[in-house]
């Protein structure tokens, strides 16, 4: 009986560790895209993480993905406004179509 319980616990720990490793790889990709100046691609990856964490019940990853999403969108809007002010106020030159 102890062997079965130990096996179940080991399986659960292994599965959780593997899931955290997958999230770790995904977050590294997000950071890489942000460092390359690709906020839209980074946001898409964050939304994939959000969906996966929502489906799997990983609340910590869900919260982290929401915070990243807010940060990426805020930075994008700030850069757009700075570009707008620098362009003399022409929105057509700044906002994507």
pLDDT digits (tens, 9 = 90+) for 22-66: 899 999 999 999 999 898 999 999 999 999 999 988 899 999 999
pTM of the model: 0.64
The token pair that represents 47 in the structure block: 């939304």
pLDDT in tens, 54-88: 998 889 999 999 999 999 988 877 776 666 666 55
Instruction: Return the DSSP state at 88.
Output: T
Q: What is the DSSP string of 19-55?
A: HHHHHHHHHHHHHHHHHTT-HHHHHHHHHHHHHHHHH
């Amino acid at each position: 009986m102890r062997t079965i319980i130990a096996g179940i616990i080991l399986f659960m720990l292994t599965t959780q560790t593997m899931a955290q490793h997958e999230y770790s790889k995904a977050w590294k990709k997000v950071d890489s895209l942000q460092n390359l100046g690709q906020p839209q691609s980074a946001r898409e990856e964050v939304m994939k993480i959000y969906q996966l964490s929502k489906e799997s019940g990983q609340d910590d990853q869900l919260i982290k993905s929401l915070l990243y999403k807010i940060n990426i969108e805020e930075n994008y809007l700030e850069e757009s406004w700075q570009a707008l002010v620098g362009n003399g106020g022409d929105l057509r030159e700044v906002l994507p179509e």
